[in-house]
Amino acid sequence: CFTKSTVRGTIKEKPGFNPGEDAAALRKAIEGIGTTEKTLIDILTQRSNAQRQLVCKAYQDATGRTLCDDLEGDTRGDLEGILVALITPPAKFDCQEFIGAIKGAGTTESVLIELFASRSNHQIKAIQWEPKLFGYQHSSSIFPTVQILYEAGEKKWGTDESKFIDILCHRSVPQLRQTLVEYKSLSGKTLQESIEREMSGRLEDILVAIVKCVKSVPAYLAERLYKSMKGAGTTESTLTRIIVGRSEVDLQDIKAEYKKLFGTSLYSDIESETSGDFRQTLLKICGEDGK
């Protein structure tokens, strides 16, 4: 992602991990009289994704069934969705989100924008997606880039959108960060302000999202989480995608940005805006502030 490589997730590898013991506990929770959701939640939220893959293998070796199939057969709704997400390898999970956004009842553009803007070129390649959107190019000077953006937007009668698209989608993150600084110095406006003034619709949305992610992926995703809970009805799929998808990447930073931007903790908003076992799963992954 656009953040530093230092891992700032909330989920770490469990010391003394034993995949066979976990698989046996999960099997008992599923095959007993009534599924024991607490056991499923406790185990799957307190292991790294790599450890969960080993648990899945041990489970299938012991039962002849996949853990995914059993979770889908014994849980329902949002709880099923988040538990299945937890046992899915990250690249496959992203791929499924892309496909779901495209193949659903109408393309969910906001999901595609979020995924493209907040994933690195490496991550896009990992899910076999078109890598050109995040290709990295290098030049000796950032000023020609700034001049082109200015002349394509603020200085031009009618905006040359292709110039914005080419630069925002084909420059390295350090270059783009310098571009933001130089652009404001040249034009007197931020690049985001110019995009919002000169463009509209989904093109505006995706370019603004890229600019926001250049500045801070955690802040952008914190905003997405806030809107998913404070809009007209909670968007559980967004909560699942971001909380699970960033749980081993930068969820600690997202929590900090959330508090800074909205004056409340992500944990407390999840607690008040969701319910049941789905809420408990989210809270276990998120963790309280300072933990």
* pLDDT score recorded for residue 206: 78
Instruction: Tell me, yes or no, whether 141 lies in a domain.
Output: yes
Which region among 76-80, 88-92, 94-98, 100-104 has the lowest average model confidence (pLDDT)?
A: 100-104
* pLDDT score recorded for residue 86: 98
Q: 21-45, pLDDT tens digit by residue?
A: 999 999 999 998 777 999 999 999 9
Question: Are the CB atoms for 2 and 213 separated by under 8 Å?
Answer: yes
Q: 191-239, pLDDT tens digit by residue?
A: 889 888 887 777 788 788 888 988 999 999 999 999 999 876 668 999 9
Which of 89, 123, 147 is the last residue before a domain boundary? 89
Same-domain pairing of 188 and 225: no
Instruction: Tell me, yes or no, whether 46 lies in a domain.
Output: yes
Cα distances (Å, whole numbers) of residue 142 to 4, 48, 146, 217 = 21, 40, 7, 22
Which of 190, 215, 240 is the last residue before a domain boundary? 215
Same-domain pairing of 76 and 52: yes
**CATH number (domain holding residue 138):** 1.10.220
In terms of pLDDT, which residue wins out, 175 or 156?
Answer: 175
The pair of three-digit structure tokens given for residue 273, joined into one six-digit string: 């805006």
Rounded to whole angstroms, the maximal C-alpha distance in the chain is 70
* pLDDT score recorded for residue 166: 74
Same-domain pairing of 95 and 141: yes
Q: Is 84 helix (H, G, I), strand (E, B) or coil?
A: helix
| Cα–Cα distance for residue pair 262/270, rounded to 1 Å | 13
Question: Are the CB atoms for 183 and 149 separated by under 8 Å?
Answer: yes
- Could you identify the residue written with the tokens 């199939």? 69
Same-domain pairing of 64 and 109: no
The backbone region for 287, taken as left when phi is positive above 0, alpha when psi lies in -120 to 50, beta otherwise, is left
* pLDDT score recorded for residue 57: 98
**Owning domain of residue 59:** 19-89
Same-domain pairing of 225 and 259: yes
Same-domain pairing of 141 and 98: yes
Average pLDDT of the chain to the nearest whole number: 82
Tell whether the model's pLDDT for residue 141 goes beyond 60. no
Of the candidates 19, 29, 22, 18, the one whose C-alpha atom is nearest the C-alpha of residue 70 is 29
Q: How many domains does the chain have?
A: 4
Tell whether the model's pLDDT for residue 97 goes beyond 60. yes
Question: Are the CB atoms for 291 and 11 separated by under 8 Å?
Answer: no
| Cα–Cα distance for residue pair 260/204, rounded to 1 Å | 25
Instruction: Tell me, yes or no, whether 14 lies in a domain.
Output: no
Same-domain pairing of 63 and 80: yes
Angle between helices 276-286 and 37-45 (to 10 degrees): 20
| Cα–Cα distance for residue pair 119/94, rounded to 1 Å | 10
In terms of pLDDT, which residue wins out, 3 or 166?
Answer: 166
Which of 89, 116, 137 is the last residue before a domain boundary? 89
Instruction: Tell me, yes or no, whether 3 lies in a domain.
Output: no
Same-domain pairing of 211 and 242: no
Tell whether the model's pLDDT for residue 125 goes beyond 60. no
* pLDDT band for position 163 (cuts 50, 70, 90): confident
Same-domain pairing of 170 and 148: no
**CATH number (domain holding residue 210):** 1.10.220.10
* pLDDT score recorded for residue 182: 87
Question: Are the CB atoms for 1 and 123 separated by under 8 Å?
Answer: yes
Tell whether the model's pLDDT for residue 118 goes beyond 50. yes
- Average pLDDT (82-108) is 81
- Residues in Cβ contact with 63 at an 8 Å cutoff, skipping those fewer than 6 apart: 27, 70
CB atoms within 10 A of CB 130: 10
Q: 240-290, pLDDT tens digit by residue?
A: 999 999 999 999 999 999 999 999 999 999 999 999 999 999 999 999 876
Instruction: Tell me, yes or no, whether 6 lies in a domain.
Output: no
* pLDDT score recorded for residue 120: 67
Instruction: Tell me, yes or no, whether 47 lies in a domain.
Output: yes
In terms of pLDDT, which residue wins out, 173 or 18?
Answer: 18
Tell whether the model's pLDDT for residue 133 goes beyond 60. no
- Could you identify the residue written with the tokens 């799929």? 237
- Average pLDDT (87-116) is 78
Counting runs of H as helices and runs of E as strands, what totals does the chain give? 18, 0
Percent of the chain with pLDDT over 90: 49
The pair of three-digit structure tokens given for residue 157, joined into one six-digit string: 């009668």
* pLDDT score recorded for residue 123: 63
